[in-house]
Structure 1
Amino acid sequence: MNAVVLLDQGGNVSYTNLDEITGKVVVRCTKSSDVSSIAVKLEGESRTRLMSPSGPNGERPRPQLEYHKILYKVQTVFPPPDILEVKGSKASYTLPPGQHEYPFRFKVPFNNSCSNDRSQLAGGISITGSGLEVRQPPQRHVHKTLPPTLSGFPGEAEIRYYVKATVQRNSWYKENTRTETPFTFLPLEPPRRPITGSEVYARQNHAFTSFEDGEPVRLKMKGIFGRKREPAPVPGRSEPPVISIDARLPEPALLTCNQEIPLRIVVKKLSDSTDPIYLQSLQIALVGLTKIRAHLVHRTEANSSILVSKSNMGIVVGSPNDPSGTEVAIDDRIWRGQPLPNTVAPSFEACNISRTYQLDIRVGLSYSGPTAHSLKVRKTDIPRVVVALPMRLDLDILSGIKPSEALLEAVARGRGTAGRVPPGKSAPIVDKLRTEGRMPNSGAGQAMPTSIDEAGPSRPPEPPAEAASDVLPPSYSEAPPSYEDAIATDLPPIDAPRPNYAPPAAVDDDLLGRDEKRG
């Protein structure tokens, strides 16, 4: 017996929140086989593995594995619900020889569900290339929008999504048949903040150095018979220029996957020098900072993608006669039309992995002295003072899959009410923690938040909306999600353009662990 999962949306398709993943499980039998059920699971997992530092007494570093099941949905496609209700879950069914197809349908939620997965509370043992490694239960969960598919960190971190099918056999000596099909996930972007019209910027000031005082610049020039002669000194040398250069992005600083960078580079003249300044080189790189955590071990991986790299341009910036205070914008045609690579994932924060970005701009400017523009010489004979000015901008990258108007209206109607616990009741996770003895039944020993009004006189604190016992413990750092699953349950899939997201191909990574039930 063998099985395979076939998705209806084949090819390089990126799924997003609220999408319906449909397909079928194809089971082929060469002879009659007894099965108890066929289950299909929609799963997503985030795995990290880091080496702990050496101990103070010479203890050897140990691998730390952290595993989060960020998405988990199960659907039984065989037997049908009516038959299962009559015969029960322990009944056996015989599949005749041939090919059998069972359709399935899942709807991708908004938020991760790892904090509700009980299988993570007990930890486990992972089989890696170096042997058995103990996987401790995670102590921290982040309740936010599902992160994108992430790869490219072999042996350290991965976020993967897949549809898995399991054919349960009714005999203890027959192994269950398992198969899985991975897919790429790209989250829906949150509602964007309105554009303010202002700009965020990174700035560098620079004063060019002057040539030697009292010594004219002597440029070697060839005579008519090939001999070299020196030009006469040029009196009345002006002061070297002083400039300020800005790299600017519209506020808020946002980039979009597969789209151009709305960057502006502005050079401001801060002196009355009449000597020209040349733009010699320009490099724009996108730096991705991936923070990886495995329990108490942390590490930040930095990788960069070169977007623009130009050199030996020799473009005059502005005019030598511009007065002090003049701002000149560098022609954006140099980097216009260069979109972000399709391997760039949007910014996200998961339980054990997060991704932020910086834009690194390096501008090369040159100053050739007061004689360069007054003598007709070759550019290669002109001495230059070249400087590279680096600038960095913190920014966020969005997926480019915009929410529908119906979704935004539903969020606006439900904002402030979704996720609240009715009076007299507590959240389900709080009841679960109380039952397990990990949360006290009273509010003793817990400090209540105090609101401070800096603008007005002091006021007595308002009574809290919830009892102190309903406050989640610090181990669950649940930030308000961008969307609520309860709001979008009945909304249709998002009909919006999808960017081409193609992360590095994921492979079976033995170092990250593989349990006995993984396909």
Structure 2
Amino acid sequence: MSIRIALDNPPEFYTNLDFISGRVILVLHRPETIGNVIVKLEGESHTALTVPSTGDRDDLYRGRIPGGGGVGDIITESHKILYRLFQVYPDDGAALAFQPGTHEFKFNFKVPLNNICHDPKAMSALLGIGGLSGSGFRTMDGSKQLMLQHVKGTLPPSLTGFPQEAEIRYYIKVTIQRPGFFKENWRYQVGFKFLPVEPPRPAKTSQEAFARRPFTFRPQAALHQKKSSFFGSRSSTASPSSGAGGTPPSIEMSARLPFPSILTCNEPLPLRLIARKLAPTEQQHVYLTALEIVLVGHTQVRVHNLENTERSTWILFSAPQLSPPIQLFNSPTDPVDAEFEIPKTLWKDRRLPNTVAPSFRTCNLARTYGLEIMLTLTWAPSSSPSSLKPNSPSITLPLKLSKVDVYSGIRPPQELLNSVSTQNSRPPRLPNRPPQQPPRPGPGVNVQPPAPDPLYPPQLGTVGATMYEEAPPSYDEAMADQLAGPAARPAYSGVTAENAPSTMPAEKS
């Protein structure tokens, strides 16, 4: 016996609204009776953290860890962010005997937009009666999902690279049930990479997010020599003087990104580096001699009430020694507040690595990004780069943009964007008002109709009050069934192979 899953024209990775189709190929060497052939589309987000010791007073008030975990124990949390079923055999529920040979079963899934674990109705439906579905096969233990904290959002990307701590994986699993008390079910699975579509991009504006830092070089020291003693020995002392190197330059460096700050996977940085003159000087010969641009990712890992943040870095551009160095400003006579933009040719061809996952937030994992720029500036006495010496005054400035979003670069279909914008343009519904019983009037008292409430205008009436009773539809509700996944998509490799063994510790039941 052998089982294999063959996908139809599998891409490098799948995304939302994609159709995943294929065949389950079963090769039998002897007759077998098969009850059900179930194919599942699953996505799981696993996290694991070690319970720390109570080292301070705040830890003493930490809530009790579920499962009674003590100091040093590994606590795990798992979320079923995607769960779809497809029963490929049989149609009528009858178990039949299969003869030796090759048998194929076709399946077809459509990847949704949002995760499923936030929906208690969906989790309860997966339970079925007694943990079994109507077909008699076990789906999943949805009761565990109901006990966890959930976040509704777009399905997160595949994520690995944090052994024994965090990972997000997607699978296609097949279960072949064999009737009989002592017969074991056959199972097989294959993993696939997933990269979500990006959210609707905000309209472009002329605004910019920036990080800036002013600085002033220290005055260069002038050397004064004095004759002393009978033997003609000389002693030298150094004292600050503006006459040797001129008035020290005073400059402000800033890093700017379009606002909102959005970077795109496999696309260049829309970064601008600008120098601004703060004070008049006689000699304003300042050179950019080194530059480094680093993308910093912060992965927030949560297990119940334990949290940890992992820091990852990707070097986008690194030049420890620019050759030739770049002179800031065109002339020392430039007026105050004059600006000089560092040429973008240094990093215009540097794209985000294909191992960078887009920003996301799911139930127990989140990824945010920032950008760090390190600039080394050197003050020279003349406008010739040859005047730069190893002992020339220099300064290294850090510039940090802490709130940067990374998008996948997979634009959602225009039909979906139009549908979402239409739903967002609906007027907000009024909150439900609990009914109030009017007081019973005494005998001989005339009952006056209640005054109209300005919050509930009478022109809405009964029909208008129930018109917006339901919340606006989600992405899944807004999209059409025939809407296909995006065609254009960038390269994405993830960190490890999608079929590599899991590195997460076993979950305690």
Shorter-chain TM-score: which interval? 0.7 to 0.9
1:15 is paired with a residue of what secondary structure?
A: coil
1:511 corresponds to 2:508: no
- Paired with 1:254 and 1:386, the residues of 2 have a C-alpha distance of 32
> Which position in structure 2 is the counterpart of 1:500?
491
Structure 1 position 489, deviation (Å): 3.8
1:487 corresponds to 2:478: yes
The two structures, once aligned, show a CA RMSD in angstroms of 3.5
> Which position in structure 1 is the counterpart of 2:50?
51
Structure 1 position 149, deviation (Å): 0.7
Residue of 407, 413, 417 corresponding to 1:404: 413
Runs of 4+ more than 4 Å apart: 55-59, 118-121, 135-138, 233-237, 376-382, 416-424, 459-463
> Which position in structure 1 is the counterpart of 2:123?
117
> Which position in structure 1 is the counterpart of 2:75?
64
> Which position in structure 1 is the counterpart of 2:307?
298
- Paired with 2:430 and 2:51, the residues of 1 have a C-alpha distance of 40
> Which position in structure 2 is the counterpart of 1:144?
153
* 1:324-335 alignment, distance < 5 Å: 324-335=336-347
1:169 is paired with a residue of what secondary structure?
A: coil
> Which position in structure 2 is the counterpart of 1:280?
289
Residue of 336, 357, 366 corresponding to 1:345: 357
Residue of 103, 107, 115 corresponding to 1:100: 103
- Paired with 1:398 and 1:498, the residues of 2 have a C-alpha distance of 12
Structure 1 position 258, deviation (Å): 0.5
Residue of 352, 366, 375 corresponding to 1:363: 375
- Paired with 1:102 and 1:422, the residues of 2 have a C-alpha distance of 50
- Paired with 1:136 and 1:106, the residues of 2 have a C-alpha distance of 23
Deviations 1:15-68 (A, max 9, x none): 111110011100111100111010100110101000111247995322111110
- Paired with 2:429 and 2:5, the residues of 1 have a C-alpha distance of 39
Whether contact under 8 Å (1:48, 1:294) holds in the other structure is yes
Q: Which has the higher contact order (CA 8 A, sep 6+)?
A: 1
> Which position in structure 1 is the counterpart of 2:446?
none
Deviations 1:472-510 (A, max 9, x none): xxxxxxx999x5201114242134311111111143235
Whether contact under 8 Å (1:202, 1:392) holds in the other structure is yes
What is the letter of the counterpart of residue 394 of structure 2? V
- Paired with 1:27 and 1:421, the residues of 2 have a C-alpha distance of 56
TM-score by length of 1: 0.76
> Which position in structure 2 is the counterpart of 1:73?
84
- Paired with 1:294 and 1:489, the residues of 2 have a C-alpha distance of 36
What is the letter of the counterpart of residue 367 of structure 1? W
- Paired with 1:194 and 1:251, the residues of 2 have a C-alpha distance of 10
1:175 corresponds to 2:184: yes
Q: Evaluate the alpha carbon distance shift between residue 345 and residue 262 of structure 1 in structure 2; reply closer, same or farther with a 3 A threshold.
A: same
How many residues are aligned here?
434
Whether contact under 8 Å (2:123, 2:146) holds in the other structure is no
Whether contact under 8 Å (2:18, 2:484) holds in the other structure is yes
Structure 1 position 320, deviation (Å): 2.2
- Paired with 1:21 and 1:36, the residues of 2 have a C-alpha distance of 24
TM-score by length of 2: 0.77
Structure 1 position 137, deviation (Å): 6.6
- Paired with 1:165 and 1:207, the residues of 2 have a C-alpha distance of 67
- Paired with 2:342 and 2:369, the residues of 1 have a C-alpha distance of 24
Q: Evaluate the alpha carbon distance shift between residue 31 and residue 462 of structure 1 in structure 2; reply closer, same or farther with a 3 A threshold.
A: same
2:418 is paired with a residue of what secondary structure?
A: helix
Whether contact under 8 Å (2:51, 2:70) holds in the other structure is no
Whether contact under 8 Å (1:48, 1:512) holds in the other structure is no
- Paired with 1:339 and 1:502, the residues of 2 have a C-alpha distance of 14
- Paired with 2:365 and 2:242, the residues of 1 have a C-alpha distance of 62
Based on CA coordinates, which of the two structures has the bigger radius of gyration?
2
Structure 1 position 9, deviation (Å): 2.4
Whether contact under 8 Å (2:114, 2:154) holds in the other structure is yes
Q: Evaluate the alpha carbon distance shift between residue 28 and residue 95 of structure 1 in structure 2; reply closer, same or farther with a 3 A threshold.
A: same
Structure 1 position 2, deviation (Å): 2.2
> Which position in structure 2 is the counterpart of 1:321?
333
2:190 is paired with a residue of what secondary structure?
A: strand
> Which position in structure 2 is the counterpart of 1:13?
12
* 1:438-449 alignment, distance < 5 Å: none
1:389 corresponds to 2:397: yes
Structure 1 position 382, deviation (Å): 5.9
Whether contact under 8 Å (2:275, 2:339) holds in the other structure is yes
What is the letter of the counterpart of residue 371 of structure 2? L
Whether contact under 8 Å (2:76, 2:507) holds in the other structure is no
- Paired with 2:429 and 2:157, the residues of 1 have a C-alpha distance of 27
Q: Evaluate the alpha carbon distance shift between residue 143 and residue 420 of structure 1 in structure 2; reply closer, same or farther with a 3 A threshold.
A: farther
What is the letter of the counterpart of residue 327 of structure 2? V
2:417 is paired with a residue of what secondary structure?
A: helix
- Paired with 1:40 and 1:347, the residues of 2 have a C-alpha distance of 30
Percent identical: 38
